[in-house]
Structure formats: structure tokens, C-alpha cells
Amino acid sequence: MSRRLMQEAIEFFGSEQKLGNATGYTQRAINYAVTTGHVSPLMAYRIEAATKNCIRAIDLCPLLDIPRQRQLARRHVNGSRR
């Protein structure tokens, strides 16, 4: 599922490089996520924000089903370190 959604995110922006630029990741990190199907909680939330919720973080990263992980990742994306 994550691989297919990562492909959709890439198509949304047009390339791995453009998705990386929009999310603050390198093209190599984006390619790794596509290849392995592993998307970190932070990457998932950044992709969700960059795609304006067209691709949901919880669908990209199964770890986000854990409430504490969701809370920490959202705080990090929003810039709060508490």
C-alpha cells in the first residue's frame, strides 16, 4: 500500500526530486521509501501536508495507528518540540 501511495505522491508533484523539495527530503530518501515501502511518521505527515491532504499520512505509515506516534509526528511537523 505504501509503495502505491508513494507513487501517487510522486505523480502529484511530477518527480521524486520535486516531492523531495516539497517535503524537505532528498530524492534518494524518497526513492528509498518507494523501493522499500517504508515511510517514517514524519515523512508521512510532510507528504500529507505537501499534497494538501490528498494522500493521508495514516495510509502511508502504519505506525501512525499508534496514538502517541501520531501526536509526536504532528508536533514535529508543526515545529513544536514539547
2-57 pLDDT tens trace? 899 999 999 999 999 999 999 999 999 999 999 999 999 999 999 999 999 999 99
| Euclidean distance between CA atoms 51 and 57, whole angstroms | 10
For residue 19, the model assigns a pLDDT of 98
* Domains assigned to the chain: 2-77 (1.10.260.40)
| Euclidean distance between CA atoms 60 and 48, whole angstroms | 9
Burial 18-52 (b: 16+ CB within 10 A, else e): ebbebbebeeebbbebbeeebbbbbbbbbbbebbe
pTM of the model: 0.79
